[in-house]
């Protein structure tokens, strides 16, 4: 009699949980056995494109198209939350429960190879089959997923380069010729000041947010600077060209040609037709195009600007695919899948629906694939031309690599948005970063 | 209530000012929500202008949002998560608060302090170890895994504590004279009388859980198990935010909870009225 | 108060003891523990066990990778934290956040609760329901709406400010280092008011109306009633909300910092938990993240202890 109610309550609570657990367990077995009993190899694909509403359809289409045409492999897509993705991969790895194919940022190749036992594509596919697949792949993109040993552990997948987008109507309003080429940062400054004088906003290089150090690196490389020495043992934040690049940037802001908004604010201003120029990833392009269409203004694009007398060096934002399964059968299945999504067909979907670069550049001239699309999207040629001058987006080595990246990002943000002395800020960052190098 | 010493005019003046201030605060509270709602009806051409009313109501954003994410399924998941969490947190908190206020037992102070100190441990520090534990327990990728570490809430315990503490001891003693058991006192005597506190706390716990993002995002990656907040987040990416659909999805995501609140609000008020047993 | 009830307990059990078997006596002893056990075990397992791990990790260098052996580095992580400006900036910002948050989490809600308490129940409910609305809105969507309203050129606020001639150029609410912290507080505070008002209202309903009747008969004026009756009787709620504000403001602002500013510009809006998050989830430096967690745990712990001390002296239970 005594504790019946309490016991009942506890029992109810316990039942509730067990019930839920039950559901979960059934679910797990379900998905494990959901190969329709036709003996296909089941693999999972962990990708953040599935968690972004505007890219989900395309990402799912890639998976569905693959599943439809494959008799031996069935892929299940798993949406990755960008914020916690890396942490989850690590914890899963510790628990021995990794996803089979994982999408990783291209600056993390070294990190992934050093820390996880990844198979090289040359080994999974066989050298000959791999070489055959890589025919027609952009030369400069091929090496981005290679490790020190020259083997490819990450296959470049979705990526783009930085471009300068501008609002032709605002240009005309400011008395500028929107058809005149904008080539150097001096040109950008001039246009920015003219726009400002006409009551509009100038340029913003959206490179201060999280994960945008690839664009900071592009600025630095374009001025002939570097972030690390050749053998990646020392950071080179105090390199005169590195400091020079940041100083030029600071000067853009000081002069008023460059706005000092957050990345998102600048994007929104541009989308709303108030910001004259935006230097940003080409992955934004489809969004910009539709905003321009509905806002009734003309969008134009130019290559990533250069420093006077130097050629601009764009970097790549974006991701590649790696195989994390250690089971040879699943590895082989993963290769089949990766082969499909990085094929001409795969890139047709990726480029036309998600806006990333076709890493098989020839398909923009091929009737079967992107020719008609490319005719409507002429900017893609500008973007592809930049692949010729591409510099790898470097990740800092060692346990504290991430820390160094954040430090660089914060220091540059501070330098460009305040009046501080760039050389001495970079000096401070240099010594802090060097302490964090392995 | 008799305000014997205050003149009528003074009351009017004071009341007027009071209402004015309250209304201003209401505008502050409501305006961003109003903005969210009207923006969800604005077409793409209008989305960035500052008009207080869309020139025409367009349902495009809703259509797109519903097409892109499975809002209904997510609502079901979120509901399951939030209700389980709220009920379990209430249950554990009621028992703990009862024990802590009714008896003085060795360690009771320490236990109270342990509950209070959980506020000092940020989720950012416990997320990773707890995730690893859950994966090892086999709860990877399930709503249940989201709920398990959240079955006890220090906030629930600490906010029930005063309600239990101020419950008249004489009544408990009387109950014990009637040979009521310990659970009997709790369920028959105390709970019916502090129902209003319990219900309002339940609502808060529910809302809290409903709006949780980081922990569910960490545990759940299977889209069939995703919650509304994860769905909302998918309209915001580092690269581009889809404003209109985000606003539409946000409206849809808050509707169930708004309705629930309005329904329960009545229940809370009724229990407020019944209060005053002493 | 509670002492009276407790002193009555042994007496009762003393009477009953002769009829009770030893087992029953033990059960009786155990009763409080049985009640407290579910919550206690959960908290120990899901909060304190990871906390202990965190203490362990704070003296190691590790990038959270299972294949990499953590390296023991002694107090080096703490040394790093205390010799780098980000830490002090985060602590100072957190202090400002807490201070600026108090009007939204304690002062305004208390005033609203008291002001609406004696309105007709209809008016009271409408007001409280409206204040409560922000609380139920999804934080992600709130961030988006506020960012929109606060946008330096497209935003409604700046639109109004410039057209009224208050400012010439749009205020950069979220990108100007002098404004950003205030803006985040405004957003987090907007969200908080409803919750706190509800807490205070719940506290008020617990007050026996007969106190007011007695006071009215005694001829007390309204504001004096508030001062002499309401506030003391509300003191447990006030203390609870004060303590919550101090301990939780860093958590309440976290989501908005994450979505709106990522701690920027140049760290101007970061707070202690965001710093912790940056170390752990962005830089994968579990040592620094854990060391920071330990420092904050101890720091906030001291604050909490002071609070409980004060609480015991100040809080007044109507009984």
Domain that holds residue A81: 39-159+317-386
Q: Where are the beta strands (DSSP E) in A232-358?
A: 275-281, 299-303, 317-323
Tell me whether residues C261 and A262 touch, CB distance under 8 A. Answer: yes
Note whether A137 and A191 are same-domain residues: no
Note whether A290 and A172 are same-domain residues: yes
pLDDT tens by residue, B46-76: 777 777 787 778 888 899 888 888 889 999 9
Measured distance CA(A63)–CA(C248) in Å, rounded:
43
Measured distance CA(B89)–CA(B96) in Å, rounded:
10
Measured distance CA(B160)–CA(A3) in Å, rounded:
22
Residue where the block lists tokens 């410039």: C162
Is the predicted pLDDT of residue A73 greater than 90, yes or no?
Answer: yes
Question: Between A380 and B200, where is the model more confident?
Answer: A380
Note whether A248 and A280 are same-domain residues: yes
pLDDT at res. B259: 85
Note whether A290 and A147 are same-domain residues: no
Number of helices (H), then strands (E), belonging to chain A: the values are: 19, 9
Note whether A123 and A106 are same-domain residues: yes
- The reply to whether A391 falls in a domain is no
Reference A60, options B223, C201, C28, B152; nearest CA is B223
Residue C284 pLDDT class (50, 70, 90 cuts)? confident
CB-count exposure of residue A291 (10 Å: 0-12, 13-18, 19+): buried
Of A39-43, A90-94, A279-283, A329-333, which one has max mean pLDDT? A329-333
Is the predicted pLDDT of residue B206 greater than 60, yes or no?
Answer: yes
Query: Which residue in the set B43, B135, B234 is minimally distant from A97, CB to CB?
Result: B135
Domain-ending residue, one of B16, B33, B58: B58
pLDDT tens by residue, C118-166: 787 788 878 888 888 898 888 888 888 898 899 888 888 988 898 888 8
Measured distance CA(A163)–CA(C52) in Å, rounded:
48
Q: Mutate which of A53, A86, A271 to disrupt the B interface (most B C-beta within 10 Å)?
A: A53
- The reply to whether A9 falls in a domain is no
Note whether B75 and B52 are same-domain residues: no
Note whether A343 and A412 are same-domain residues: no
Phi and psi of A314, rounded to 5°? -75, 150
B248, closest residue in chain C (CA to CA) = C141
- The reply to whether C23 falls in a domain is no
pLDDT at res. C19: 56
Note whether B112 and B34 are same-domain residues: no
Note whether A275 and A344 are same-domain residues: no
Tell me whether residues A81 and B230 touch, CB distance under 8 A. Answer: yes
- The reply to whether B1 falls in a domain is no
pLDDT at res. C215: 64
In chain B, pLDDT over 70 holds for what percent of residues? 90
DSSP secondary-structure letter at C70? -
Note whether B132 and B227 are same-domain residues: yes
B48 touches chain A (CB under 8 A): yes
Residue where the block lists tokens 């050298």: A127
The alpha carbon of residue B222 and the mean position of all alpha carbons in its chain are separated, in whole angstroms, by 25
pLDDT at res. C12: 42
Q: Is the C-alpha dihedral spanning B49, B50, B53, B58 positive or negative?
A: positive
User: Global pTM?
Assistant: 0.85
pLDDT at res. B129: 86
CB-count exposure of residue A116 (10 Å: 0-12, 13-18, 19+): buried
Residues of C in contact with B106 (CB under 8 A): none
Q: Where are the beta strands (DSSP E) in A18-147?
A: 41-47, 73-79, 101-105
CB-count exposure of residue C22 (10 Å: 0-12, 13-18, 19+): exposed
Measured distance CA(A203)–CA(A188) in Å, rounded:
7
Note whether A258 and A382 are same-domain residues: no
Query: Which residue in the set A86, A260, A265 is minimally distant from C151, CB to CB?
Result: A265
Measured distance CA(B209)–CA(B146) in Å, rounded:
10
Structure tokens at A11: 């029992």
Distance set, CA A347 to CA A58, A116, A210, A421, C24 (Å): 11, 28, 27, 45, 74
Is the predicted pLDDT of residue C200 greater than 90, yes or no?
Answer: no
- The reply to whether A192 falls in a domain is yes
Note whether B268 and B146 are same-domain residues: yes
- The reply to whether B128 falls in a domain is yes
Question: Between C6 and A384, where is the model more confident?
Answer: A384
The alpha carbon of residue C192 and the mean position of all alpha carbons in its chain are separated, in whole angstroms, by 10
Residue B13 pLDDT class (50, 70, 90 cuts)? confident
pLDDT at res. C13: 43
Is the predicted pLDDT of residue A10 greater than 70, yes or no?
Answer: no
Residue B6 pLDDT class (50, 70, 90 cuts)? low
Note whether B103 and B133 are same-domain residues: yes
Rounded to the nearest integer, the mean pLDDT of chain B is 83
Assign residue C255 the CATH number of its domain. Answer: 1.10.3720.10
Strand order in the sheet with A162-167: A201-205, A275-281, A162-167, A299-303
Is the predicted pLDDT of residue C221 greater than 90, yes or no?
Answer: no
Give the count of domains, chain B: 2
Q: CA of A131 to nearest chain C CA: how many angstroms apart?
A: 31
Is the predicted pLDDT of residue C47 greater than 90, yes or no?
Answer: yes
- Spatial contact of B167 and B185, defined as CB atoms under 8 Å apart: no
pLDDT at res. C216: 64
Note whether B53 and B79 are same-domain residues: no
CB count within 10 Å of CB C209 equals 12
pLDDT at res. B268: 58
| Average of per-residue pLDDT across B12-31 | 87
Is the predicted pLDDT of residue C271 greater than 70, yes or no?
Answer: yes
Structure tokens at B237: 């990416």
Q: What angle do CA C251, C62, A316 make, to 5 degrees?
A: 80
CB-count exposure of residue A69 (10 Å: 0-12, 13-18, 19+): exposed
- Spatial contact of B225 and B80, defined as CB atoms under 8 Å apart: no
Question: Between A100 and B166, where is the model more confident?
Answer: A100
Is the predicted pLDDT of residue A72 greater than 60, yes or no?
Answer: yes
Note whether B54 and B140 are same-domain residues: no
C153, closest residue in chain A (CA to CA) = A269
Structure ipTM:
0.85
pLDDT at res. C21: 78
pLDDT at res. A169: 95
- The reply to whether C3 falls in a domain is no
Is the predicted pLDDT of residue C16 greater than 60, yes or no?
Answer: no
Domain that holds residue B35: 8-58
Residues of C in contact with A260 (CB under 8 A): 172, 175, 265
Domain that holds residue C243: 84-314
Question: Between A5 and C90, where is the model more confident?
Answer: C90
pLDDT tens by residue, A202-254: 999 998 877 778 899 999 999 999 999 988 899 999 999 999 999 999 999 99
B86 touches chain C (CB under 8 A): no
Q: CA of B115 to nearest chain C CA: how many angstroms apart?
A: 7
- The reply to whether B251 falls in a domain is yes
Could you give the dihedral angle defined by the CA atoms of residues A416, A421, A423 and A426, in that order, rounded to the nearest 10 degrees?
Answer: -60
DSSP letter string, C144-206: HHHHHHT-TTT-HHHHHHHHTTS-SS---TTTSTTTHHHHHHHHHHHHHHHHHHHHHHHHHHT
Note whether B155 and B214 are same-domain residues: yes
B10, closest residue in chain C (CA to CA) = C222
Q: What is the largest CA-CA distance in chain A?
A: 91
Is the predicted pLDDT of residue A8 greater than 60, yes or no?
Answer: no
Note whether A293 and A424 are same-domain residues: yes
Tell me whether residues B29 and C141 touch, CB distance under 8 A. Answer: no
Residue C214 pLDDT class (50, 70, 90 cuts)? low
Residue C208 pLDDT class (50, 70, 90 cuts)? low
Residue A343 pLDDT class (50, 70, 90 cuts)? very high
pLDDT tens by residue, B110-162: 999 889 888 888 888 888 888 888 888 888 778 899 999 999 998 899 888 87
Q: CA of C30 to nearest chain A CA: how many angstroms apart?
A: 13
Reference A150, options A177, A183, A113, A176; nearest CA is A113
Note whether A125 and A228 are same-domain residues: no
pLDDT at res. B79: 92
Phi and psi of C78, rounded to 5°? -65, -40
Q: Name the β-bridge partners of A101.
A: A45, A323
Structure tokens at B88: 């379990």
Q: Is residue A162 within a helix (H) or strand (E), and if so which, with residue range?
A: strand A162-167
Measured distance CA(C269)–CA(C253) in Å, rounded:
10
| Average of per-residue pLDDT across A352-357 | 88
Measured distance CA(C251)–CA(C248) in Å, rounded:
5
- Spatial contact of A190 and A174, defined as CB atoms under 8 Å apart: no
Note whether B27 and B119 are same-domain residues: no
Q: What angle do CA C230, C316, C210 make, to 5 degrees?
A: 45
Measured distance CA(A283)–CA(A158) in Å, rounded:
9
- The reply to whether C307 falls in a domain is yes
- The reply to whether B53 falls in a domain is yes
| Average of per-residue pLDDT across C260-265 | 85
Is the predicted pLDDT of residue B176 greater than 90, yes or no?
Answer: no
pLDDT tens by residue, A114-161: 888 899 999 999 999 999 999 999 988 888 999 988 899 999 999 889
Q: CA of C281 to nearest chain A CA: how many angstroms apart?
A: 7
Q: What is the largest CA-CA distance in chain B?
A: 74
Note whether B222 and B246 are same-domain residues: yes
- The reply to whether C202 falls in a domain is yes
What are the residue ranges of helices labelled H in A198-324?
213-222, 240-255, 263-271, 285-295
Give the count of domains, chain A: 2
Assign residue B121 the CATH number of its domain. Answer: 1.10.3720.10
Query: Which residue in the set B29, B113, B130 is minimally distant from C193, CB to CB?
Result: B29
Residue B199 pLDDT class (50, 70, 90 cuts)? confident
- The reply to whether B110 falls in a domain is yes
Tell me whether residues C264 and A406 touch, CB distance under 8 A. Answer: no
Question: Between C233 and B79, where is the model more confident?
Answer: B79
Give the count of domains, chain C: 1
Note whether A185 and A291 are same-domain residues: yes
Is the predicted pLDDT of residue A289 greater than 90, yes or no?
Answer: no
Which chains share 3+ C-beta pairs under 8 angstroms with A?
A: B, C
Tell me whether residues C154 and A269 touch, CB distance under 8 A. Answer: yes
Rounded to the nearest integer, the mean pLDDT of chain C is 83
Domain-ending residue, one of A366, A386, A406: A386
């Amino acid at each position: 009699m005594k504790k019946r109610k309490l016991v009942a309550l506890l029992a109810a609570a316990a039942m509730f949980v067990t019930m839920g657990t039950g559901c979960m367990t059934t679910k797990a077995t379900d998905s494990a056995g959901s190969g329709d009993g036709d003996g296909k190899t089941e693999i999972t694909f962990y990708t953040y494109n599935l968690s972004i509403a505007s890219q989900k359809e395309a990402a799912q289409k890639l998976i569905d198209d693959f599943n439809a045409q494959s008799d031996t492999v069935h892929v299940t897509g798993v949406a990755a939350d960008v914020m916690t993705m890396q942490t989850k991969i690590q914890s899963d790895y510790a628990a021995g429960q990794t996803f089979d194919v994982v999408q990783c940022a291209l600056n993390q190749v070294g990190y992934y190879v050093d820390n996880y036992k990844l198979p090289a594509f040359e080994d999974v596919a066989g050298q000959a089959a791999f070489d055959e697949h890589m025919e027609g792949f952009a030369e400069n993109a091929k090496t981005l997923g290679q490790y020190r040993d020259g083997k490819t552990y990450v296959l470049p997948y979705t990526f783009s380069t930085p471009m300068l987008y501008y609002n032709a109507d605002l240009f005309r309003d400011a008395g500028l010729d929107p058809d005149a080429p904008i080539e150097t940062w001096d040109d950008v400054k001039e246009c920015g000041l003219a726009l400002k004088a006409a009551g509009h906003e100038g340029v913003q290089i959206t490179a201060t947010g999280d994960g945008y150090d690839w664009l900071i690196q592009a600025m630095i490389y374009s001025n002939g600077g570097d972030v690390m020495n050749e053998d990646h043992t020392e950071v080179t934040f105090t390199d005169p060209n590195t400091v020079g690049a940041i100083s030029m940037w600071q000067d853009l802001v000081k002069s008023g040609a460059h706005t000092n908004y957050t990345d998102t604010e600048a994007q929104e201003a541009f989308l709303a037709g108030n910001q004259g120029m935006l230097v940003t990833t080409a992955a934004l392009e489809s969004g910009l195009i539709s905003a321009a269409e509905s806002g009734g203004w003309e969008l134009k694009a130019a290559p990533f600007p250069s420093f006077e007398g130097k050629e601009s060096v764009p970097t790549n934002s974006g991701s590649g695919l790696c195989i994390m399964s250690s089971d040879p059968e699943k590895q082989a299945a993963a290769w089949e899948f990766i082969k499909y999504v990085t094929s001409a067909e795969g890139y047709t979907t990726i480029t036309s629906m998600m806006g990333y670069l076709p890493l098989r550049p020839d398909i923009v001239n091929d009737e079967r694939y992107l020719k008609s699309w490319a005719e409507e999207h002429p900017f893609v040629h500008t973007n592809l031309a930049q692949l010729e001058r591409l510099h790898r987006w470097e990740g800092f080595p060692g346990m504290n690599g991430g820390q160094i990246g954040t430090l660089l990002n914060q220091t540059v943000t501070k330098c460009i948005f305040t009046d501080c002395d760039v050389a001495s800020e970079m000096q401070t960052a240099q010594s802090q970063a060097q302490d964090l190098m392995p | 209530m008799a305000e014997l010493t205050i003149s009528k005019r003074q009351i009017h003046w004071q009341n007027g000012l009071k209402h004015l201030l309250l209304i201003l605060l209401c505008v502050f509270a409501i305006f961003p929500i109003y903005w969210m709602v009207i923006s969800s009806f604005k077409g793409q051409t209008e989305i960035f202008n500052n008009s207080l009313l869309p020139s025409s109501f367009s349902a495009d954003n809703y259509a797109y949002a519903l097409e892109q994410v499975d809002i209904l399924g997510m609502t079901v998941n979120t509901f399951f998560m939030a209700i389980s969490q709220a009920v379990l947190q209430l249950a554990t908190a009621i028992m703990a608060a009862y024990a802590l206020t009714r008896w003085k037992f060795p360690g009771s102070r320490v236990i109270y302090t342990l509950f209070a100190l959980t506020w000092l441990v940020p989720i950012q520090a416990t997320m990773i170890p707890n995730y690893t534990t859950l994966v090892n327990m086999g709860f990877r990728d399930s709503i249940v895994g989201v709920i398990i570490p959240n079955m006890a809430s220090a906030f629930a315990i600490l906010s029930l504590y005063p309600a239990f503490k101020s419950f008249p001891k004489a009544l408990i003693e009387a109950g014990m004279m009637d040979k009521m058991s310990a659970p009997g006192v709790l369920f028959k005597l105390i709970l019916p009388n502090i129902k209003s506190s319990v219900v309002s706390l339940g609502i808060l716990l529910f809302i809290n859980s409903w709006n949780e993002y980081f922990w569910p995002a960490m545990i759940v990656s299977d889209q069939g198990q995703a919650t509304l907040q994860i769905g909302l987040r998918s309209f915001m990416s580092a690269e581009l935010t889809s404003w209109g659909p985000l606003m539409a999805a946000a409206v849809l995501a808050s509707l169930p909870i708004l309705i629930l609140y309005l329904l329960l609000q009545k229940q809370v008020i009724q229990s407020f009225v019944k209060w005053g047993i002493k | 108060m509670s002492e009276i009830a407790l002193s009555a307990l042994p007496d009762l059990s003393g009477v009953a003891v002769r009829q009770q078997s030893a087992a029953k006596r033990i059960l009786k002893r155990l009763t409080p523990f049985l009640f407290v056990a579910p919550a206690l075990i959960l908290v120990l397992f899901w909060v304190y066990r990871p906390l202990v791990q965190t203490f362990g990790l704070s003296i190691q260098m590790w990038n959270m990778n299972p294949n990499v052996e953590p390296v023991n580095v002694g107090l080096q992580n703490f040394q790093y934290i205390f010799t780098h400006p980000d830490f002090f900036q985060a602590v100072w910002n957190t202090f400002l956040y807490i201070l600026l948050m108090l009007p939204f989490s304690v002062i305004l809600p208390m005033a609203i609760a008291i002001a609406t308490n004696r309105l007709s129940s209809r008016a009271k409910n409408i007001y409280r329901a409206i204040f409560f609305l922000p609380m139920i809105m999804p934080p992600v969507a709130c961030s988006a709406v506020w960012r929109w309203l606060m946008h330096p050129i497209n935003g409604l606020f700046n639109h109004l400010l410039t057209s009224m001639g208050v400012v010439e150029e749009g205020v950069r609410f979220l990108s100007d280092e002098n404004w950003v912290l205030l803006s985040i507080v405004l957003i987090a505070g907007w969200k908080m008011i409803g919750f706190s008002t509800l807490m205070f209202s719940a506290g008020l309903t617990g007050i026996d109306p007969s106190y007011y009747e007695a006071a009215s008969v005694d001829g007390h004026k309204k504001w004096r009633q508030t001062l002499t009756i309401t506030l003391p009787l509300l003191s447990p709620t006030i203390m609870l909300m004060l303590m919550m504000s101090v301990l939780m403001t860093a958590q309440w602002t976290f989501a908005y910092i994450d979505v709106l500013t990522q701690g920027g510009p140049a760290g101007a809006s970061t707070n202690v938990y965001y710093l912790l998050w940056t170390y752990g989830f962005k830089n994968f430096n579990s040592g620094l993240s854990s060391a920071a967690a330990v420092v904050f745990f101890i720091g906030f712990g001291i604050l909490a202890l002071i609070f409980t001390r004060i609480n015991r002296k100040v809080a007044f239970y109507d009984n």
